[in-house]
Copies of this chain bind each other. A is one copy, B any other.
């Protein structure tokens, strides 16, 4: 089990459009089965029955039978945390759900949470700005499931959900943005204000209640009712494009003002990520952000987004402990984090990719 936790999700591979600013795009659909009580109102046997229905249905469906099927009660706290850190399940599911299940596609682009707040949460997460593509993936799975298990649906209110804020389309779409230049030039608060005026919500890396670290911001739609799926996606997409333009302008302004300082902070980050012996998660996230900015500005060439995303996930408590193969308290994790960062950077070099060194010829051209 633990081994499977260390797979690199599709979004971690990088490669989508606007990848230098949009880390990933995510769409999730909240659905409930007709005739079953919502998880929070259901007793144990009822919840178990829902899980069994979904798993049996998946086992018998050609499109879903390759999905991993994980029952929450069989997962360790560490594994649940790791799935959350990879954005495959919600923090709520990782911490609270007792009788649930998780279905995950082989490339981890699609995950289905069973008995989170709703019976089903169908999620698609892709690298870069791919909201429409993510919606397409989620809709495809949604259609497949609906064929065997009719949903709770109301002509006027749309899909019925445990929490009214999800009613209607049941759709929440979000983009994870890397906005270091807007933060360095102190423009982020202004932009966040503008986003909330157009019905979007801004949160930290792991959703509600998490703080913004490493210049990573999650922007999602607030409203699920009264708009079509396509309208919600189009709105978020177009606002994201405007934020991208602002971040690009801020990056260009920083480059024009002090290119050497930007290169310095990126290379220093790489040096510290390779040489430190003790490192908090907060420092690691911040250094990975500096490094990412340097790469996206062309100031460091011999790394890539796949490596950056891997680093971003492996420094998290759950993934880190899974990598180490043992349970670690916070100060032990601060010692283990640099070990695993170095290993990842060495693996990257050993895979035949270019030398990550400030002295290499190609780098000096920049």
Contacts and interface: CB of A to CB of B under 8 A. Distances in A.
Contacts of A278: 260-261, 264
A358 B335 contact: no
Interface of A: 260-261, 263-264, 267-268, 270-272, 274-278, 335, 338, 342-343, 346, 358-359
Contacts of A263: 277
A271 B260 CA distance: 18
Contacts of A338: 358
A272 B267 CA distance: 8
Most buried by B among A275, A335, A342, A346: A275
Main secondary structure of the interface of A (DSSP, over half): helix
28 contacts: A260-B278, A260-B335, A263-B277, A264-B276, A264-B277, A264-B278, A267-B275, A267-B277, A268-B271, A268-B275, A268-B276, A268-B277, A270-B275, A271-B271, A271-B272, A271-B274, A271-B275, A271-B276, A272-B272, A272-B275, A274-B275, A274-B358, A275-B358, A277-B358, A338-B358, A342-B359, A343-B359, A346-B359
Given A260-B278, A268-B276, 6 more contacts: A268-B271, A268-B275, A268-B277, A338-B358, A343-B359, A346-B359
A260 B331 CA distance: 11
Contacts of A261: 278
A260 B279 CA distance: 11
A346 B355 CA distance: 14
A342 B338 CA distance: 22
Contact of A277 (B260, B335, B342): B260
Contacts of A359: 342-343, 346
A278 B261 CA distance: 7
Nearest to A258: B278
A358 B343 CA distance: 11
Nearest to A275: B271
Contacts of A358: 274-275, 277, 338, 342
Contacts of A267: 275-277
Contacts of A268: 271-272, 275-277
